[in-house]
Structure 1
Amino acid sequence: MHRTPLLFALTAALIGPASAQTTPAQTAPAATPAPTSLLTQGQGAAQAAAEARDLTLKARSAYPKGSANIDQPLWKQAAAAAETAVAAAPGNPDYLKLRAQIYTEVGFWRQAELAWNAYFRAAPTTGPEARVAATVQYNLGYAAYTRNQPDEAAKFFASCLQLDPDSAPCATWAARTALEAGNYTQAQTLYARALTLNPADKTLTYFQGLAQSAGRYGPAATRAFSRAYGDRDAGRKTQALAGFQEAARSAPNFTEAHREAGRLALELGNTQAALDAYTALNALPNPTAADRFNLTLATEAQQYGLSVVQTYRAAYQKYAAGEKAAAETGFQAATQQNPRYAKAWAWLGRVRYEAKNYAGAAEAYARAVALDPTDRSSAYYLKLAQQGK
């Protein structure tokens, strides 16, 4: 479950230790004593509530932190005791709150929602109780989202914000569901709100920009992209790649969909998917230098193998940093991984030539020219290397 941080601390603080029971109200001396049946009923409710609190403490001690579950015997007994207290005194806010807190702590979200609703009919919807109840709405919303029920999810996230206007997670997911539904103006407003609550979150900034341009792509593409982004963050890379590709198919002008598909395809070693993505991306207006670089990378990777090209690129970075010996080792490794890689032979010749290793340079340049007769630079330096100058 995706629980909001501090939920355990909030519920623990609200339930409190077993000794923190509600003390029975003192009766004024002149008041008429309550009927015995009512006194017995009240005593039974207090006893059940005390038992629920005691079982809650025992459950927290008995089970690993974060593992609370309604199916665990102590938690099940605690919830049953709280239900008994509420049944005996249905209008008592303390017992209603106790029941809601137990269901919240064990992640029994639907029962927790019903329990908090009952509590708020007897007490104000404010304070820490409202914030805990908001986490219930958040978890219900996230569960609905993962079940592919975006409309239901949006309702839960909106309820969360009503209970806790300062909830960054609920503002974030309310914005996400608005974006996927095609409500772009609302999404921009909600993303701005989420950024106010969590200004350091770069993902929020990214999606706020996406919300501003999403009208050009349409709800289907935007929703596929959003879901793919979530899959990528969760480590489901193959599923994420399929989602980004779907977004790009739905909206061929969706620059970021092509870009994310290309990046992820390279991570997965899927050179054909990377080539397709970067070819489409570079056909759109205003490709970046990185887009052009990655197109070349994907093209060469498809021809020679991704690991070979990555070895070559790493060697080139060493060369650019002035680490010539390390660069020579890297270029040589690339030629060994794939002897048909003309560019690697050419650069191996270059570093050897600059080191005045003319025999080694001539050997490398000769291989480069044999593989690529159109490489005039290699042909020129081959002659110089053969002449030893």
Structure 2
Amino acid sequence: MKALPNAARLRTRDLAVVGVDGLRGRPLRAVLSALGIAIGVAAMIGLVGISTSSRAGLIADIEKLGTNLLTVEPGTTLTGKDSELPKSAEDMVSRVPGVTSVSAVGKVEDATARRTDKIDADTTNGIAVQASRTDLLKTLGGKMRSGTFLNAATSKYPVVVLGTDAAGRLGIDRAGAHVYIDGRWFMVVGILDEVDLAPEVDRAALIGWSYAEKLGFDGNITTLYEKSTDATVDKVRSVLGYTVNPEHPEEVAVSRPSDALTAQAAAERTFNALFFGLGAIALLAGGVGIANIMVISVLERRQEIGLRRSLGATRGQIRLQFLTESVTLSALGGAAGVLIGLGTCVGYAVYRGWPTVLPADAIVGGALAAVLIGALAGVYPARRAANLTPTEALATN
């Protein structure tokens, strides 16, 4: 008797055609199955990409704003009471080597800024009335959104410059309007842009230092702002407490506003691991869905399997066919997820004005994870299909 010839090997191209044909026969099911993988990969890439772009935007802001601005505020005494900065603090700090500019604000106690005199005096809207030096804008590196800042002439009169948040809360969008402060009308001569390194200024109504004294301002400094050269900022920071209050330097609180942005950038980096985890969970759920669909596919295609086995297909070829279908289905979902995730990342970064940073690790990791999960999800259905004998597969239930 003549021996039967060995079964022909499936070429890669033929294998791909068989795998795609298996999915094309049930397109809606294939799309819904791949959707779980697409959502997982898109979530991973989109979230990590947004976090990475946000961090890049913060770093760019830090580089633009600089790290050479320091703030000095009153601390607490040994008895727990609020301390005060000496009125000579500005002059003393300006003499420190490396210091390039010094300015200050002081809170005008019991004064509130209101849109009209009809509003209750106790309604503050979170706006602090602050006496301001005329060089505050220069020291902070701020910009005007509308109008001009206080100068030597206007600071002697009832005029006010509003921080961006204060203007919004008062419903004022341009210079020339009036607000009611401590029983008298003040003309708004300017509105500030957002000051990233001094958010407290965004919520303030700034009036001239000399005019504030007419409202009972005692001249005490609430916050002193100091800017030095990049090379000397650390050295200046180490001596500011002793310079401002030589007798009690421990009662002086010195901080660098840019440290908050740096900490925020570092915190966002730690969230990447969480975002990877969320994407992985979605991918696993998608993998379970693919495994379920492939098991159903094996049950529905028993006659096809039996016919192919009868025509000489080996167990390995059947196993490889269904494994290819599973991997192809997962890979298509992964590719769709990559495109969706990248589109989300780029679109949101452009909307927020951040640098667009594509997360290469998330893109590569998401794509590889999709293929790996597809392979794992297809192992059991493929083995089940391969273990069917032609007689079992062709038998009708």
State the TM-score bracket (shorter-chain normalisation). under 0.3
| TM-score, structure 2 normalization | 0.21
TM-score, normalised to structure 1, is: 0.21
User: Quick check: which one's helix share is greater?
Assistant: 1
Higher relative contact order (CA 8 A, sep 6+): 2
Report which of the two structures shows the higher radius of gyration computed on alpha carbons: 2
